[in-house]
Amino acid sequence: MANKFKSSASTIPVDQAVGKVLAHDITEIRPGQFKGVAFRKGHIVREEDIPHLRRLGKEHLFVLHIGPGEIHEDEAAIRLAKALIGQGVVFDSQTSEGKINLKAAHKGLLKVNVQALTELCLIPTICCASRHTNTVVEKGEIVCATRAIPLIIDEMTLSAAVHIAEAAGGIFSVKPLSQPKTGIVITGNEVFSGLINDKFAPILRKKLASFGCQIKEPLFAPDDKAEIVKCIDDLLKRGAQFIMVAGGMSVDPDDISRVAIAEAGAEDVVYGTSVLPGAMFLYGHIGDVPVLGVPACVLFYKATVLDILLPRVLAGEIITRKDLAALAHGGLCLNCEKCHYPVCPFGK
């Protein structure tokens, strides 16, 4: 794609510089107080800048002339930002060194159209750096920064980039997270009979509470298919909008939770992932109520497949076999001595 600029530079009197683009940085020195850049290259001179420039001893300025078909970096960044944003993403039109930050309008799940982003960034004069898709973000957090790389960009080049983003319906969006009434079924003969104390409920409560979920008192069931089905049915009758069944997810003959989940009416059931820890995870739904089969790994690891997928479920996504398969790339937890999840490669 052509990238030949017709812009040129010239020297003009400072009082004729309003609306012109500075061709270089202008340094300000106040002895004993300050030395640094007062006006940066690319700054568009304003009427109120003239007295300041005169105090710096500037009677003439070296400025750029933007030719037909050329766009200043600030305008380019604004046009890019408008095209990039989807639902739940906002931006401040005030640029900083030609760059604009896109931010989350509310807490939620960041979704990035990675294919469209890649296509956009094949244009060598466009910069668009983002966080990973499926990242949980808080209101006001930066999700992307974008700019034109040169000070002056060709209109055709910019239009091509804008078209890619607009054709995708925006490349960045933030899905709100639901806060459903959540029921938990703890399975296992050893817990049900009181031989050992339950460890699942406190961990699951903490994870759910971090998203504001309304948590019902957990139900306990032995390794008995009919009893587990009964607990699930009871939660549904009590208005549960989200159900977790903890334990009994392995291939051991006593572990029949996944069979019980299916018999309770779960559809689109997918079991088994290429994520470690979390290989024996299950997802399904009964009507519009998501049901998760939670493996025992959540008892021993701070971050598991549950932490990767829980936000997506709360964002209303249906988890498919393809979704689980895609997690294989980046699905290996390194079991660091000090866990920094989610600021780490796991699940990215």
CA dist., res. 161 & res. 55, Å (int): 41
Q: Which residues contact 233 (CB under 8 A, 6 or more apart)?
A: 264
Per-residue pLDDT of the chain (348 residues), as tens digits, is 444 445 567 899 999 999 988 887 898 998 888 888 899 878 889 999 999 999 999 999 988 888 889 998 889 999 999 999 999 999 998 888 789 999 999 999 999 999 999 999 999 999 999 999 999 999 999 999 999 998 889 999 999 999 999 999 999 999 999 999 999 999 999 999 999 999 999 999 999 999 999 999 999 999 999 999 999 999 999 999 999 999 989 877 667 999 999 999 999 999 999 999 999 999 999 999 999 999 999 999 999 999 999 999 999 999 999 999 999 999 999 999 999 999 999 999
**Do the Cβ atoms of 90 and 58 come closer than 8 Å?**
no
CA dist., res. 110 & res. 44, Å (int): 34
**Do the Cβ atoms of 237 and 251 come closer than 8 Å?**
no
Name all domains of the chain by residue range, CATH numbers in brackets: 8-65 (3.90.105.10), 70-175 (3.90.1170.30), 181-326 (3.40.980.10)
Q: Which residues contact 140 (CB under 8 A, 6 or more apart)?
A: 103, 104
